Structure 1
Amino acid sequence: MNERILIVEDESRLSSLLADYLRQANFEPHILADGLPVVSWVRDNHPSLILLDLMLPGRDGMEICKEIRGFSDVPIIMVTARIEEIDRLLGLELGADDYICKPFSPREVVARVKAVLRRSGGQSNLHSQGLTLEEASLHANLNGCKLDLTAVEFKLLQHLAAHPGRIFSREQLMDRIYADRRIVSDRTIDSHIKKLRKKMDTASPGVDLIRSVYGVGYKFETEE
């Protein structure tokens, strides 16, 4: 069966065009033009990926994204005409996997869909130094205590923990976490790291698994 892509877009010409391109790429598109039925449709149909417009009749795309992240880790690409960085960062904090800004090329959208599906396709669990990460459910535990992470924080921690001792620059981490680096500044990584450390310290005080390397970036270390 072809992978099902949910297109949530109220501009009928645009959604039809995207659906045509996705079909040509051997995907199975489904279109919803209103925000209200999206969450129930996702629960019932389990799409492989969601193209979610921010400005929708019935319900805002960010609210939809936040609710979906409460029960599913389905990849979400937000589609928007908003260019304010705060909106973009907020969307990623709520768990979006990528952003596409209007106007765009339908071919670019198909390429982004494929890229996000490739990144999310390799489901795996990781256990290291009291840290347990379950990619399929985005569950994270440190020494038996649950870490309440956003999808972006989970990906960042997973990438660092999968390469203990290796130093990653902010640019390398941005390349890993975001498909389109134009949407964030390099200091966004600092913000995510700060939040990760705070959550990990709350779960297990005194455990410092993410280390700063001055002038270079960050690395994941086992405890000495």
Structure 2
Amino acid sequence: MSNQLILIAEDEHEIAEIIGTYLERAGFRTVTAADGALALSHFQHFKPDLVVLDVRMPKRDGIEVLRVIRQSSDTPVIMVTAMAEDVEKISALRLGADDYVVKPFNALEVVERVKTVLRRARPGPSTHGRQLTVGALIIDETAHSAFVAREAGRSAIPLTQTEFTLVAHMARTPQRAFSRAELIDACLPDSDTLERTIDSHISNARRKLELAGIAGFLETVRSVGYRLEPLE
């Protein structure tokens, strides 16, 4: 983990410096950006392993930066917000954020969130070489990627790390209904994720599957939660 690069996009210099100091003490490399435009420039140039992204920044705010990142990359993103309103958190999650923290926060909390999100993004030893197929959906757990099978080959589905983790977990037992609490325990055990947050991640994943031509695979099970590949 000591080689991983974290982009800190934060316009408050003192906060950026504190986050950077704690991350570097934990063995990470860091690069900072004080506005949204520079954050996107750094993202393209340095290709960080994870982005800590403040919502409210000059030039281009964090929501816009996240939207641009998600157009071409599934790099993990943790949003930082000064407002505790759920609407702002859920807005970021719907755009593809992997997690969020609310100011004021303990810098050690940010470090732990970074470690947790990166750990989820990294395939574990038990999944080495494993490929799951559910209909036209292919889950490659080694590459940590999802594909749709087509006659001409297979096309990648741009799931975020959290979306991939949720879909892959359900793909291991297709047609089984999972409650939101089960999905949190299995896929995001080290976070304080709310059940409504799971709804946002599943909604994003469903939309991407449908855009890839896999409609109806991620089904809402009333009063329970979700399942992959609905029963005929």
> Which bracket does the TM-score occupy, shorter chain normalised?
0.7 to 0.9
2:106 alignment counterpart: 105
Query: Normalising to structure 2: TM-score of the pair?
Result: 0.78
Aligned 1:207-218 pairs, distance under 5 A: 208-210=216-218, 215-218=223-226
- 1:214 and 1:64, CA in 2 relative to 1: closer, same or farther beyond 3 A? closer
RMSD: 3.4
Q: Is the 8 A contact 2:36 2:62 kept in 1?
A: yes
Secondary structure of the residue aligned to 1:185 is helix
Q: Deviations over 1:29-50 (max 9, x none)?
A: 1111111122121111110110
2:8 alignment counterpart: 7
Q: Is the 8 A contact 1:142 1:204 kept in 2?
A: no
Aligned 1:168-183 pairs, distance under 5 A: 168-175=178-185, 176=187, 179-182=191-194
- 1:70 and 1:221, CA in 2 relative to 1: closer, same or farther beyond 3 A? closer
Secondary structure of the residue aligned to 2:138 is strand
Secondary structure of the residue aligned to 1:47 is coil
Q: How far is the alpha carbon of 1:146 from its aligned partner?
A: 6.6
Q: Determine whether 1:131 maps to 2:142.
A: no
Amino acid at match of 2:55: L
Secondary structure of the residue aligned to 2:67 is helix
Q: How far is the alpha carbon of 1:165 from its aligned partner?
A: 4.3
Q: Determine whether 1:185 maps to 2:193.
A: no
Q: How far is the alpha carbon of 1:216 from its aligned partner?
A: 3.5
Structure 1 stretches of 4+ moved >6 Å: 144-149
Aligned residues: 220
- 1:33 and 1:133, CA in 2 relative to 1: closer, same or farther beyond 3 A? same
Q: How far is the alpha carbon of 1:11 from its aligned partner?
A: 0.9
Unaligned runs of 5+ in 1: none
| Aligned mates of 2:158, 2:49 — CA distance in 1 | 22
| Aligned mates of 1:61, 1:201 — CA distance in 2 | 25
Q: Determine whether 1:94 maps to 2:95.
A: yes
Unaligned runs of 5+ in 2: 125-129
Q: Is the 8 A contact 1:131 1:143 kept in 2?
A: no
| Aligned mates of 1:193, 1:9 — CA distance in 2 | 28
Q: Determine whether 1:141 maps to 2:153.
A: no
Aligned 1:65-104 pairs, distance under 5 A: 65-104=66-105
